[in-house]
Amino acid sequence: MIGQSTRDIPLKLGKFDLATSARWLEARMRHPVRRGAMSPREKALADRIKTLKREAGSHSPSAPTLIKLIPELRLRVDACFLSNPYATGLFLEYLQREVIRTGRLRKLLEFYPSQNRVIAGKLSRSIDIPADHLFIGNGAVEIIQAIMHRFTGHKILVNLPTFSPYHEFARADTQVVYNVVKKEDDFRFDPAAYVARVKREKPDTIVLINPNNPDGGYIPHATLVRMLEELRDVPNIILDESFIHFACEGDAYAFRSLGGETDRFPNLMVVKSMSKDFGVAGIRAGYAVMAPARVRELLENGYLWNSSGLAEYFFDLYSRPEFLAEYERKRVHYIRHSRRFFKALSAMPGLYAYPTSANFILVELRNGMVAEDLVCQLLVRRGIYTRTCDDKKGLEPGKFLRVASRTRSENRFVLRAFRDILR
C-alpha cells in the first residue's frame, strides 16, 4: 500500500520551496491511512529499520542514509533531524543568487578555502567577539573532539541524558563521571546540587549543554553566570550552545549566549554548531569561543584547512546584516509554530512530553507501546522519521522518543499521525 499510494508523488526533499511539499501533505491528511496490525511486508520493513538503527550505534542513521539503504521507504517528514528548515531555504536562496547563478561556485569548490584564522576574522564581525577567541570547526563535533583530546585530563563530568560524543570521545585515560538528571523532576537541572557534586568529585572538565539534548531543558543565563562564578577552579568548562537560538528568556524572542564571557571566565569554552539554527548540517560548520591561548594551542597542532569553501561562504553570509535580519524573521517564525506543535503534542493521550526550550521535544510513552514500534509505524506507514532514545544513556529503553519540529505543514502531518496511532 505504501509503495503504491506514494510512488506517484515526488519526494520533495530536494526542492527549494516548501509549498509543493505542504500541498502534498495537506492532501495526504484528507486520505484514510491503514491502521491496526502491520502486514508481513510492513513488518519486514520495520525489522530492517531496527537492524540499521542498532548498527548505527549511538547515532541514528541519517534520513538520506536510511532511504539509500531501504529504498522501499517513502520519507515524508524527517522529524529525527534537529534543524530549522526555513533557515535552510534562506541559505539556499542566497547560494543560488550569489554563487550558483554568478558562476562563483567553481571558485568555492576548486580552491583551498581560507585558513582557520581568516574565517575567524569574518565570524568576529557578526558575533562581536575578537577573532583570537574563535576556533572554527568542521562542525561542532570536531571541536568537541579537539577539546576532549587536548584539554580534558583525568576526569570529565557529563550530565545524563546527553549528546553522546561528550562521553564517547573521551580519551582512554579520561574517567567519565555522570550526573543524572531525573525524569521524575522533568529532567530539571539543579544548579546547587550540581555545584556541590563538582566540588566533591573534582573533575577537570565539566559539560553543560544549554538547552540540553535530548530533553530540551534550559538553564537560565543568570543561573549559569552564578554557577561559573562558583566554579572558577574547574580547569575546563564546556558550554554547548548549539540549540541556544531556539531558547528565549522573557517575553520577546531574544536568546542569551555566554560566548562573550570567556575573558571573565577563562576556563569557559562555548561550543556552537551552526547546523541546527541555520539548517546547514551538510556543510559542516561550527565554532567555539575560548581563551586566545587555547585557540593558539589548537591551531599550532593542525586544523589548517578544516572548513570547506561552502562553510566559508556561510560564515561570509553570517557576517552580513541583511542576511542576519532575514534569518531573524525565519528564526522567530520557526519558534512560534514549534511552540504550538509542542503544545499540541503534549496534550495527546498516552504520552508525556517534557518541557523543552529547544526545537525538539522528548516524549515518554505511557500507553504500554514500545518506542521502537511507534517509530517504525510512523516511518513505514506515514513516512515520518522520529528518533527512539533506546541508545541514550540515562533514559529507560523502550519508552522515549525525540520528535523534532519541522515546517508548519509537516508538524501538522506529524500531529495527525500521532493522533491516529495513539487513539
Positions that interact with its own copies (CB under 8 A)? 13-16, 56, 59, 62-65, 78, 81, 83, 85, 88, 91-92, 95, 100, 102-115, 118, 138-139, 141-142, 144-145, 149, 165, 168-169, 171, 275, 279-284, 300-311
Closest approach of its own copies to the CB of residue 110, in Å: 5
Residue 389 C-alpha cell reads as 532514545
CA–CA dist 249, 242 (Å, integer): 16
Prior bond to 71 cis, omega within 30?
no
Length of the chain: 423
284 versus 408: smaller Cβ distance to its own copies: 284
Radius of gyration of the chain (CA): 22
Closest approach of its own copies to the CB of residue 396, in Å: 25
Crossing angle, helix 371-382 and helix 408-422, to 10 degrees? 120
Closest approach of its own copies to the CB of residue 227, in Å: 28
Which burial class, exposed, middle or buried, applies to 252 when counting CB atoms under 10 A from its CB (0-12, 13-18, 19+)? Answer: exposed
Closest approach of its own copies to the CB of residue 167, in Å: 12
Instruction: Answer for the pair 206, 156: CB distance below 8 angstroms, yes or no.
Output: yes
CA–CA dist 372, 133 (Å, integer): 43
CA–CA dist 272, 141 (Å, integer): 9
31 versus 112: smaller Cβ distance to its own copies: 112
141 versus 206: smaller Cβ distance to its own copies: 141
Residue 110 C-alpha cell reads as 576548486
140 versus 268: smaller Cβ distance to its own copies: 140
42 versus 316: smaller Cβ distance to its own copies: 316
110 versus 233: smaller Cβ distance to its own copies: 110
Closest approach of its own copies to the CB of residue 89, in Å: 8
Closest approach of its own copies to the CB of residue 249, in Å: 28
